Amino acid sequence: MACTLSFSMVYLACAAERRVVAFGDVHGDLAATRGALRLAGAIDANDRWVGDRLIVVQTGDQLDRGNDEREILELFEQLRLQAAAAGGAFHALNGNHELMNVRGDLRYVTEEGFADFADATAYDPTDSLLTSFEPHQRGRVAAFAPGSSYARLLAERVVILQLEDNVFVHGGVLPKHVTYGIDRLNREAQDWVRGETGRPEIMVGPESPQWTRLYSAEPDSAACETLRQVLDQLEARRMVVGHTIQRGGITSACGGLVWRIDVGMAEHYGGRVEVLEILGDSLRVLAGGQ
């Protein structure tokens, strides 16, 4: 099969000819993150990229509930550069918890999570954006506020990623997202996180792509038909989602149209490390211990 590349926000790669490995929510657990990356064959014992032309996708929720968030974000940025230099690719998506931090929703931040970002960026403590937060929270708010240092890092990412037959997203892609335009949705989300615009309406509420659980919970026949229509419109064969913990490990639903890869591997949940390997139409779950 010839390889056709598109440099639009919906990134198309030679996924039919190359090994793709995806893993779900890691929620501030560096040990689980490393476990998934090593299980994938992406990194060595020194956290250096050894995957060559491997494509790795992490479907969001690196932040909250754990204490290693800053290390994970910095590791992911390092791997993005190293993978590209080796001819591979590392894609970290933005999930609901990344975007919650951008808008100052700190409900799930640990005390160490506040401490780790206390000096992450310079800020004016009298800034009206910050004065409604407790003093120990303000450094983190300043670091993730639209246009700030860590927000700019998150703005390099997309919410929805398509690799030929595979669509990756934290929550799910609904028909209205396709109608709106995946490129447009990704671009407007990035503009917001960069601080250039307000939050787009399509990114608000329980039916946004980072929040919906239509396919990641227990989809009924109507949900499966909706999924089928979305995949047909995108000329894709399957969707890979995180967001909703699968206590028994990675599962598929709707006759293999959706693969649900959030296995609660973070320490907060106590699950084991699993990743999904995709080789064309061959899919395999790889499991490790924790």
Tell me the catalytic residues: 97
Q: Give the other-Cβ count within 10 Å of 272's Cβ.
A: 14
Tokens of 55: 């494509």
Which among 195, 254, 208 is positioned nearest to 228, based on CA atoms?
254
What does the DSSP 8-state code read for residue 6?
B
Question: Are 20 and 41 spatial neighbours (Cβ–Cβ below 8 Å)?
Answer: no
Distance CA 230, CA 216 (A): 15
Tokens of 198: 């307000």
Question: Are 249 and 274 spatial neighbours (Cβ–Cβ below 8 Å)?
Answer: yes
Torsion over CA of 94, 150, 188 and 18, rounded to 10 degrees? -40
Tokens of 214: 């239509």
Burial classification of residue 131, based on how many CB atoms lie within 10 Å of its CB (0-12 exposed, 13-18 middle, 19 or more buried)? exposed
How many CA atoms does the CB half-sphere of 89 hold within 13 Å?
A: 19
Which among 158, 187, 184 is positioned nearest to 89, based on CA atoms?
158
Name the amino acid, one letter, at 276: L
b/e map 95-109, b = 16+ CB within 10 Å: bbbbbbbbbbebebb
Distance CA 28, CA 25 (A): 9
